[in-house]
Amino acid sequence: MIRIRQIKLPINHNENDLKEKIITRLKINKNDLINFKINKKSIDARKEINYIYEIDAKINNEEKVLNKNIKDIIKTPDETYKFKTNGTKKLNHNPIIIGSGPAGLFAGYMLAKNGYKPIIIERGENIDSRVKSVNTFWKKGILNKNSNVQFGEGGAGTFSDGKLNTTIKDKEHRGKEILNIFVKNGAPEEILYINKPHIGTDLLRGVIKNIRNEIIKHGGKIEYNSLLNDIEIKNKTITSIKVNNKTIKTDVLVLAIGHSARDTFEMLLEKNINIKPKPFAIGIRIQHPQTLINKNQYGKEHTNLPNADYKLTYKAKNGRGVYSFCMCPGGFVVNSSSEEGMLSINGMSNHKRDEENANSAIIVTITPDDFGYNPLDGAKFQRKLEKATYNEGKGKIPTQLFKDFIDNKISNKLGNIAPIFKGNYTFANLNNIFPKYINTSLKEAILHFDKKINGFASDDAILSAVESRTSSPIKIIRDDNLISNIKGIYPCGEGAGYAGGIMSAAMDGIKVAEAIAKIYKPFE
């Protein structure tokens, strides 16, 4: 096939317009175009709004066209992913994967598909039961500490926007394979080519169930409501684990534990597994009318364009980096707490992204200089802010209008924006939650962002706290073979400090599966 880059078309074009453009660019007769598929599709809104395509076309006489050396036309590269099972060592026991978030699921999927019969241990519930527990928490405030927005089948990304973009270089084409697996299991086909793909929390739940069924179909197992209590080590090698205080022998343990498994972090440290603190970011979530974002990004409202997003960065006068994170067009702000007496929030969208408000985290970079260099000091810092947030809101999401945040006073009424929450909220003073350097950085940045998006710093923009689970506060050290200082233990994904989102976590899960298959051979 032939790849054609930089095909520009107006937003009101149709498939015939695209077909004509392909024929024109290739300088061929229409009968020579056999078929084509979209490889990439994005919106260019810099001047007039256009769609930009990258197309793979099957045509007659491909070599003849390629020999013309036409600009932005190349032979379609081979982007096929290949999983190799080169290992020769025998497995005495099933590989165990702790956690069924993207890292754990995709490690399990690859191992199961290739004959390794993994067992996935998940502290939370299956997706259907988990959704019920989360809805009960949002409506009644009853928290299931092992099955919530952070824990349970699918991981924290299940209650998010379901974004599938990543900046990781991907010469092995793991990312494309992940998108193909998502589509095979029920995700919309458009995620294969749109510039910023997302599934949405509503569709993602069904996709996760289908991936789980594929794992089981190929010899894997998933155990829910199963908490890792202990790891048994002999001669710096794993021998077994305890789950719900029951011993399970294993040669291979994948720690795909997620960024909120603070109790597990503590247990790993007690077992002398090498952990170090890492930088992360802390802040608030801000809500605006989606129409305001659309008008700023597109110049005016367009009913036939998707709701717009944004990405903003700023360096505060105190040297802190401040940036938007996990921006959710047409979404909700959700109570994402996982511990009693503490409160954290996140953003979530359905596939259609059709709620009235846009929301995004605005977060400030912090480092071990701020919280300490002991391995778990970052988690302690998160907990401290989450406890302050819970107390400030008396168990509800503390919320404040931007003008009142600037003026350091509690809001007493809403402006022209109606907030969209999952979970109860109350007016409070966010200044009381954060250290001064975070408050100062946030105020500066939001005022600066108003220069990029007119109305961003409007008096009635709605702020809520605390966005604390942006990334893991630790890194579990691993070597070039992806193994920790304890032989047989593979730290994996976001919780281990090697990913930051659904795609990068899933890619790391596949990398760990590859590392296992490089040493061990499949079961016969």
State the DSSP string of 251-304: S-EEE---TT-HHHHHHHHHTT--EEE--EEEEEEEEEEHHHHHHHHHSS--TT
Spatial distance between the Cα atoms of 68 and 65, rounded to a whole number of angstroms: 5
Residue 235 CB partners (closer than 8 Å, separation 6+): none
Residue 169 reports pLDDT greater than 90:
no
Q: What is the pLDDT of residues 326-340, one digit of tens each?
A: 999 999 999 999 999
Say how many Å lie between the first and final Cα of the chain, rounded: 38
Q: What is the pLDDT of residues 400-413, one digit of tens each?
A: 999 999 999 999 99
Residue 230 reports pLDDT greater than 90:
yes
Residue 304: per-residue pLDDT? 83
Q: What is the pLDDT of residues 109-160, one digit of tens each?
A: 999 999 999 999 999 999 999 999 999 999 999 999 999 999 999 999 999 9
Q: Are 480 and 505 in contact (CB under 8 A)?
A: no
Q: What is the pLDDT of residues 261-312, one digit of tens each?
A: 999 999 999 999 999 999 999 999 999 999 999 999 998 777 789 999 999 9
Going along the chain from its start, the domains and CATH numbers come out as 2-75 (3.30.70.2700), 96-276+475-519 (3.50.50.60), 279-467 (no CATH)
State the DSSP string of 146-195: TSSSSSSTT-GGGGS--B-------TT-HHHHHHHHHHHTT--GGGGTBS
The Cβ of residue 414 has, within 10 Å, a number of other Cβ atoms equal to: 13
Residue 479: per-residue pLDDT? 98
Residue 506: which of 214, 122, 278, 179 has the closest Cα?
A: 179
